[in-house]
Structure 1
C-alpha cells in the first residue's frame, strides 16, 4: 500500500517504552523477533501466550466501508494493510483498545485486532498477535460495549446488560454471557473489579462481577449520555454536567462536576473522546464549540470554534484538535481559546456534522500522532499534533474508510 511523506513517527514512544521495560521489567527478554517461551513458572514477566511483546506501541487502525462491507486493518508500524472478512451495514465501529466491535442491524461482530497494551501503572507492556475473527454477540444499533482486563459488558438499546469473560474473547471465542439484573438508563461500565451503571430512575448502581448489588454512592445522573474511563475514575455525562465515580480501597464515591451555568440541551456534552490514558475529555458543545473537561482540575472549558465535525486532544498541555466543515483540521490553545495552527483542507468533499455513532470522519489520538479518515478520498492522514498539525504520512487505501478506530493503545 502506498505511503506518502514517510517519516519515523514512533521513535519517542519507542524510547519511553524501552526505558520502562529495562527499568521496571529487567527480568524480561524484550527481543521483538524472538518467539515467546512456553508458559511456566519460569516464564518472563509480562508473558502472554500466543503473543509477542514489543518495545513500542503496536498501534493499528480498523477501517470499514459500511456499504460494501470491505474491512481492513492498517498496521501503523509497518504501513501495511491486512484484508479481513467483510462486515456490511455497520452502523458504528467502536473499540476497547484491542477488539473492534462492528455494530450492525442484527448483531455486533467482534474482531481481534492483534494489538494491545497492558498498563501496570509504573510501566507498560505492548503486545502483537495474529488478527482473527472472534464471532458475534447479540445486539443491534444502540448496543454499547465496554471492557476492562477481566470482563466485557454489552448493553443493548433497551438497557439490558450481558457480561462476557475477557479470557474467552482473547482465545478467539465469544463464550457464554451472564445477564446483569434489571435495566439501565446508560451504558454499563466495568471498573475497579466491579460494574457501574445508572438505573432507570437516575441512581448510580455498583455491582460485583457476579451481578450482585454492592454499596453504591448516593448520587444521581439525570439523562445520562456519554462515558469515559480515566485514571481518575469513570466520567458520566449528565444533564447538569459530569459525574466522576471513583474507587478507593473498595469504597465508591461520586463527585459532580457541574457546567457552572445553565447549558441548553443542544449544547450538552453527550459523547466524550480522548486519548486513552488521558484525563482530558472533549465533546461537541453544539455546532460551533467544543467542551474540554479537565478531570484532574474538575473544570469545564468551552472553546469556540468553527462548525465542528469531530474533536479530540492528547491532553496534558496539547492543543485541542478540531475537524471543521471547511475540511481542515484546526488546533486551538485550550487555555486561551485561540487558534494556533491549521492544515489545508484535507477531505475530499465537504464533511457534515454528524450525530453520535454516524459514519463519518473522526480524529483518533495516541501519544504522538493523530489520525483522520478521508472516506471519499480513500485515505488516512497521520498528523503530528506537536508540530503545528504537520501531515506526517498519508496512507492510500483500496476502500472508503467511513468508519475508523485505533487499537493497541
Structure 2
C-alpha cells in the first residue's frame, strides 16, 4: 500500500444522463417529485457528464476543505466552529457546533430524476447557521431539505431547500415540542416530527410546510434513527420501523415490524448507499439488521465479531460493509452473512474513535483516519483492496463524500 495526495485514476462511475426524462417506478420516491422542470439546476452551477465526487473534510478546529477525486486537486473552503457531529446528504454538510448547526455547501451534487441522473458542479460555500439550544439531531431528505431537532429546547425546524441552494438559511417552520431526544425527518413539502410524553418518545406526527400538524399521531415508541431511501423515509421504532411515502402530495405510513419471535437487539440508526432501498443497522455488538424498504422485510446477520458501524452497499452482489472494533473493514454477503473479505486494521479506535466514519458509494468505500490525516479508499468488491490512501487538505475529524 502506498500513500500519495491523489495519484492514479479514479474508477469512474459510468452513469450517463439519459436523453429523455422517464417516469420512475411507482414504488420509488424520486428526488424530482415536485421539483419542476429544472432537474436540480441552480444558477451559477455547471451541468456535467459525470458525478463530481469530492471528499469534503472538517478538522477539529472547524477548517473546511475539499479533495477532488476526479481532477486530483484540493481547495480550502473556510472555517466554521469546532464540530461535535456532522451529517450530510451528499451535497450539504450540517455541522453541530457551539453556535447551533452550521451548514456547508460542497457545491457538488447529483440530481436523481428517477430513471437517470443529472450532475452539477458549483462553488463550495459556507451557507450559515441554524441557531438552537442543546444537542442537535439532523436528518436529510431526497431534495436536500434538512430537518433539525434541538434536544435542549424541543424545537423542531424544517429548512427551505430552495433557499439553501441560493446560499441562504431560511426556515419553513420552527415548532416547539417537549424537550427530548427527537428528530425531524423531511417528507415531501413537510416533515415527520417526534412526539414525547415525559421525555419518552411515543410516536411521530406529520407537519406540513407551514408547521401545521396534519393527522393523528403515528405510533412509534422510542423512535430513533431515520434515513431516506429510494422508496421513502424510514424511522426506527422499538418494535420495527415506520416507512413514510408520499403520493400526489399526500403522505402515507406503513409499519414494518421485526420478524415474529426475534430476540435480536433493535436498530438504533441506519446507514446505506444513497438512493438505494436497502439499509443496514447495528444489532447489539455483532449483529446486523438489513431492511429492504421496497419489499418491507427485515433480515438479520451475525458478523461473529464486535462491530462499530455497518453500511449497506445494496449493489448487485449484495455487499454489506462493516467497521469492526479492531479497525478492520469487513465485507459480508447480504444473502447469508458470509464474510467475503477483510482489510488489515486501518484505524486505532482506542485512540481516535471520535469522527471515524465509513462512507460507501457505488464502487468504493472511504474510511477516515483522523490521527493520520488520511482517508483510505477501498475497493470493496475486489477483496477489500486498498485502492488509494489519500492525504486530505485538513486532518479529517469529520468527512463525507460529496457529489453523490
Normalised by the length of structure 1, the TM-score is 0.84
Sort the Cα spacing of 1:151 and 1:319 in 2 relative to 1 into closer, same or farther, 3 A: closer
Determine which of 177, 182, 195 is the counterpart of 1:199: 195
Do the aligned partners of 1:371 and 1:383 also contact (CA within 8 Å) in 2? yes
Q: Can you list the C-alpha shifts for 1:60-93, whole angstroms capped at 9, x where unaligned?
A: 2221222x33332222222322223233431101
Q: Can you list the C-alpha shifts for 1:46-73, whole angstroms capped at 9, x where unaligned?
A: 643100001111122221222x333322
Could you tell me which residue of structure 2 aligns to residue 229 of structure 1? 228
CA distance in 2, matches of 1:163, 1:210: 9
Q: Can you list the C-alpha shifts for 1:281-320, whole angstroms capped at 9, x where unaligned?
A: 1111122222222222222222222221222121143311
CA apart distance, 1:275? 0.8
CA distance in 1, matches of 2:4, 2:330: 26
Sort the Cα spacing of 1:140 and 1:69 in 2 relative to 1 into closer, same or farther, 3 A: farther
CA distance in 2, matches of 1:209, 1:150: 15
Could you tell me which residue of structure 2 aligns to residue 6 of structure 1? 8
CA apart distance, 1:176? 5.4
Determine which of 99, 109, 117 is the counterpart of 1:116: 109
Do the aligned partners of 1:7 and 1:392 also contact (CA within 8 Å) in 2? no
CA distance in 1, matches of 2:58, 2:40: 32
Do the aligned partners of 2:236 and 2:242 also contact (CA within 8 Å) in 1? yes
**Which has a greater percent of helix?**
1
Do the aligned partners of 1:274 and 1:312 also contact (CA within 8 Å) in 2? yes
Could you tell me which residue of structure 1 aligns to residue 26 of structure 2? none
CA apart distance, 1:151? 4.3
| Count of aligned pairs | 378
SS at match of 1:85: strand
| Cα-Cα RMSD | 2.6
Sort the Cα spacing of 1:133 and 1:398 in 2 relative to 1 into closer, same or farther, 3 A: closer
CA apart distance, 1:393? 1.9
1:144 aligns with 2:143: no
Q: Can you list the C-alpha shifts for 1:14-50, whole angstroms capped at 9, x where unaligned?
A: 3x22xx333549xxxxxxxxxxxxxxxxx98764310
SS at match of 2:299: strand
Sort the Cα spacing of 1:227 and 1:150 in 2 relative to 1 into closer, same or farther, 3 A: closer
Could you tell me which residue of structure 2 aligns to residue 39 of structure 1? none
**Which has a greater percent of strand?**
2
Could you tell me which residue of structure 2 aligns to residue 375 of structure 1? 370
Normalised by the length of structure 2, the TM-score is 0.85
Could you tell me which residue of structure 2 aligns to residue 31 of structure 1? none
Do the aligned partners of 1:150 and 1:165 also contact (CA within 8 Å) in 2? no
Do the aligned partners of 1:5 and 1:392 also contact (CA within 8 Å) in 2? no
CA apart distance, 1:177? 5.6
CA distance in 2, matches of 1:150, 1:114: 12
